Chain A
Amino acid sequence: MATDVVQVTVPRSTGGHHVRAVKVVLHRELLRFVNDRTRMVTMLIQPVLWLFVMGTGLGTLVRGSIPGIDFRTFMYPGMISMTVITTAMFSAGSIVWDREFGFLREMLVAPVSRGAIVVGKCLGGAVVATCQGVVILALAGLVGVPYSPVLIVTLLAEMFLAAFTITAFGVTIAARMKNMQSFFGIMQMAIMPMIFLSGSMFPLANLPSWLHVLTTINPLTYAVDPMRQAVFGYLTVPAQVDAMLNPGISWFGNRLPVALEVGLVAVVGAVLLGVAVAQFRRTD
């Protein structure tokens, strides 16, 4: 019996080993997403309700003031971001779940850096949220948005970036949480106002100044606006309506280029990732 034992020699840590760890944490997120059909469906119900029920209802009210465009078309990029945001937050929340059920410990005692685990988790959340967003993306035709390959690729990239940043944000919150209830409590408290103030539900033009300030400091605004600008680039809308529905973001009267908005989201994402890693590095 002693002869046929397979002995494993675990190598010392190398870069390749950390990449392997990132990949397996990411892989697990995907496996869990694919196995959890209920989650996939429930995550879609909210944006679809907003888009087709609220959007249709509100649309009849505002039809007169926005000639040439369906209000649902306006809401569409907002709903993509909403789907991505809630899915990403949920993915981040699975860290709390893992802690409650002990699996987090299995990851934290492994001979890999905490950074690799957090990066894997954030990438996993981003990929899962992007996959979920693809379903909303498929509905484009129903709200009069063309299926242009360039638009789709642009939106996918922007979705991925937004999802990564939100997952990193979620992970920084989840790092110290001991149970799911308190995580979802905090998440609701943080996410609801951020979604309301992001321009995903109503246009950010002609707002009272206090509300304008709040929307400008909300980081989510910078994730939603590039998607809206991408979509509006493929629509033919009267200039006056475009100014009302797609005003962009202005700092002291200067309109920000999309590249800068995207860059801001990326920087915030990187900072949050750093904070998340630092939180997991701390031990008892």
Chain B
Amino acid sequence: MNPAVSVRGLRKSYGDVEAVKGVDFEVAPGEVFGFLGPNGAGKTTTISMLCTLVTPTGGAAAVGGHDVVTQRDDVRRNIGLVFQDPTLDGYLTAEQNLRFHAELYGVPKTVLADRLRQVLEMVGLWDRKESRVSTFSGGMKRRLEIARGLLHSPKVLFLDEPTVGLDPQTRAAIWGYITRLRHTEDITIFMTTHYMDEAEYCDRIAIIDHGEIVVVDSPEALKASVGKDRVQIQTGDDERAIAALQDRFGIEAAVHEGQVTFAVASGEEFVPRLFADLGMPIKSVSVSRPSLDDVFMSYTGSTIRDAESGSAGNQWMRAMARGR
């Protein structure tokens, strides 16, 4: 089967600044593919080139088998877009916004009513279809945008930071729709995010940093590639436990979240040895796989939050952290 998205040596410069420095990847049909990286890493620029909104400086990209430069209208017909910023007309009702979209995309009139109902019901806005969009909350607007992006049955749905700025409940709901979509529609999903926990929903993730793809793989494979699990134990005497770990296993441990925490390769196999050889009672033990935070750290040498430092949002976050 032909790839849904294929990208070769794609570049974009703005003057002297290289926003995207030659990226290569392919997305298979039906896949949920995520671009993970800090703000300013080149995620939105790449997605804009794939959506034909920005002309590449170099390289080539095809979406649904159509070239993004030479066959722009063919690409546009086959994609749905949900941007970071809202693109709805607040003066119109939800239904009017969708009808406008249907006309622009030439959705056949015979199927429009059914399809309209289907996408609105999917995002739980059918009973609000006659309300003006300006009366909607941020979460409702994003849901409506997702419905609109799906209205013309696109082959590829592009979601640029689909849950940024939303409350946890709405975020969960949106992920609910996305995971359901994979079963109900014949669709490929391409998304960008800088939330680690959301990247987990993807089949494969590309980690992008400073305009380059650092690695592409499934979340499981990426986490396995870090090689070490996180082990946390509770003991009667943490000081003694840390010393014992150092003496008997040569492991550096520290107290995190009130527990003695350390990293070790294949944690589950390590646990029996720990009980046999630590030489002191252990109240509880937990072993967890590395998180995508650990993955990002190991591939780029910094956490995603450090990589973003300098942007306004993060100054705020750091100020919050200092205040605590």
Give A residues with C-beta under 8 Å from B. 1-2, 5-13, 17, 20-21, 23-24, 27-28, 31-32, 35-36, 98, 101-103, 105-112, 283-284
Determine if B118 and A5 form an interchain contact, defined as CB atoms under 8 angstroms apart: yes
Q: Which of B52, B54, B83, B101 contacts A102 (CB 8 A)?
A: B83
The chain A residue with its CB closest to the CB of B53 is: A109
Scan B165-177; emit 1 where CB is below 8 A from any A CB, else 0.
Answer: 0000000000000
State whether B53 touches A20 (Cβ < 8 A): no
Q: List 27 A-B contacts (CB under 8 A).
A: A5-B118, A6-B111, A6-B118, A8-B108, A8-B115, A10-B77, A10-B106, A12-B74, A12-B77, A13-B73, A21-B103, A27-B100, A28-B96, A28-B100, A32-B92, A101-B90, A102-B87, A105-B87, A109-B76, A110-B101, A110-B105, A111-B74, A111-B77, A111-B105, A111-B106, A112-B104, A284-B53
Q: A31-B96, A102-B83 are in contact. Are A107 and B104 (CB under 8 A)?
A: yes
Asked whether B111 lies within 8 Å of A35 as measured between CB atoms, the reply is no
- Beyond A8-B111, A20-B106, A112-B104, is A283–B53 a contact (Cβ under 8 Å)? yes
What is the CA–CA distance of A112 and B74 in the complex, to the nearest angstrom? 10
Residues of A within 8 A of B153 (CB): 7-10
- CB-CB under 8 A from B73, the residues of chain A are 13, 111-112
Give complex CA distance A23, B100 in Å.
10
Q: Which residues of B contact A35 (CB under 8 A)?
A: 91
Rounded to whole angstroms, the CA-CA distance of A1 and B185 in the bound complex is 10
Contact B107 A10 (CB under 8 A): yes
**Pairwise interchain contact B81-A109, C-beta atoms closer than 8 A:** yes
Contact between chains at A17 and B87 (CB < 8 Å) = no
B52 touches A284 (CB 8 A): no
Q: B104, A21: Cβ atoms under 8 Å?
A: yes
Give bound CA distance, A148 to B309, whole Å.
71
Is B269 an interface position by the 8 A CB rule?
Answer: no
Of listed A10, A21, A24, A283, residue having the most chain B CB within 10 A: A10
> What residues of B have a CB within 8 angstroms of the CB of A10 in the complex?
77-78, 105-107, 152-153
The CA of A154 and the CA of B7, in the complex, are separated in Å by 58
Contact between A106 and B87, CB atoms less than 8 A apart: yes
In this complex, which of B52, B92, B100, B108 has the most chain A Cβ atoms within 10 angstroms of its Cβ? B100
Count chain B residues whose beta carbon lies closer than 8 angstroms to a beta carbon of A.
42
B104 touches A32 (CB 8 A): no
**What residues of chain B lie closer than 8 Å to A9, measured between beta carbons?**
108, 153
Contact A23 B77 (CB under 8 A): no
Of all A-B residue pairs in the complex, the 5 with the closest CB atoms, nearest first, are A24-B103, A111-B76, A110-B104, A102-B87, A8-B153
Closest to B115 in A: A6
Binary per-residue interface labels of chain B (99-124) against chain A in the complex, 1 for a CB within 8 Å, 0 otherwise: 11101111110010011001000000
Does A5 lie within 8 Å of B92, measured CB to CB?
no
Which residue of B has the minimal Cβ distance to A24?
B103
Besides the contacts A7-B111, A17-B106, what 4 more A-B pairs have beta carbons closer than 8 Å? A8-B107, A9-B108, A36-B91, A109-B76
Q: In the complex, which residues of chain A have a beta carbon less than 8 angstroms from the beta carbon of B115?
A: 6, 8
The answer, yes or no, to whether B297 is at the interface (CB within 8 Å) is no
Q: Verify B105–A109 contact, CB threshold 8 A.
A: no
In Å, the complex CA distance between A255 and B204 comes to 75
Question: Do A102 and B100 touch (CB < 8 A)?
Answer: no
Question: Chain B: which residue is nearest A22 at the CB level?
Answer: B103
For the complex, what is the distance from the CA of A24 to the CA of B101, rounded to whole Å?
9
CB distance from B139 to the nearest CB of A (A): 17
Question: Which of B53, B74, B104 has the largest number of chain A CB atoms within 10 A?
Answer: B104
Are the C-beta atoms of B101 and A106 separated by less than 8 Å?
Answer: yes
Residue-by-residue, is B79-96 near A (CB-CB < 8 Å gives 1, otherwise 0)? 001010111111110001
Chain B residues contacting A1 (CB-CB under 8 Å) are: 180, 183-184
Residues of A contacting B199 in the complex (Cβ-Cβ under 8 angstroms): none
Q: Which residues of A lie under 8 Å from residue B184 when comparing CB positions?
A: 1-2, 5
Q: Nearest Cβ in chain A — how far from B287, in angstroms? A: 37
Tell me the bound Cα distance from A129 to B92 in angstroms: 20
Set of chain B residues within 8 Å of A109, measured between Cβ atoms: 51-53, 76, 81
User: How far is the CB of A17 from the nearest CB of chain B, in Å?
Assistant: 4
Q: Does B298 contact A (CB under 8 A)?
A: no
Query: Cα distance A1–B186 when bound, in Å?
Result: 13
Within 8 A of A (CB), among B178-195: 180, 183-186
Which of B51, B86, B87, B89 contacts A28 (CB under 8 A)?
A: B89
Cα distance, A105 to B78, chains bound together (Å): 17
A1-B183, A103-B89 are known contacts. Are A20 and B111 too (CB-CB below 8 A)? no
B311 interface residue (CB < 8 Å to A): no
Contact A105 B83 (CB under 8 A): yes
Cα distance A27–B103 in the bound complex, in angstroms: 11
Residue of A nearest to B90 (CB): A101
Q: Tell me, in angstroms, the Cα distance from A102 to B50 when the chains sit together.
A: 19
The answer to whether A8 and B89 touch across the interface, beta carbons within 8 angstroms, is no
Give the distance in Å from the alpha carbon of A103 to the alpha carbon of B151 in the complex. 17
Q: Is B55 on the interface with A (CB-CB < 8 A)?
A: yes
Q: Which residues of A contact B186 (CB under 8 A)?
A: 7
Across the two chains, which residue of chain A brings its CB closest to B106? Answer: A17
CB atoms of A11 and B108 under 8 A apart: yes
- Option from A17, A28, A36, A284 in Cβ contact (under 8 Å) with B55: A284
Instruction: Known contacts A12-B77, A102-B83; decide if A2 and B183 are in contact (CB<8 Å).
Output: yes
Known: A7-B153, A31-B96. A102 touches B86 (CB 8 A): yes
Find the A residue at minimum CB distance from B118.
Answer: A6
Known: A20-B103, A283-B54. A8 touches B151 (CB 8 A): yes
Please give, as numbers and ranges, the residues of chain B lying within 8 Å of A103 by CB-CB distance.
Answer: 87-89
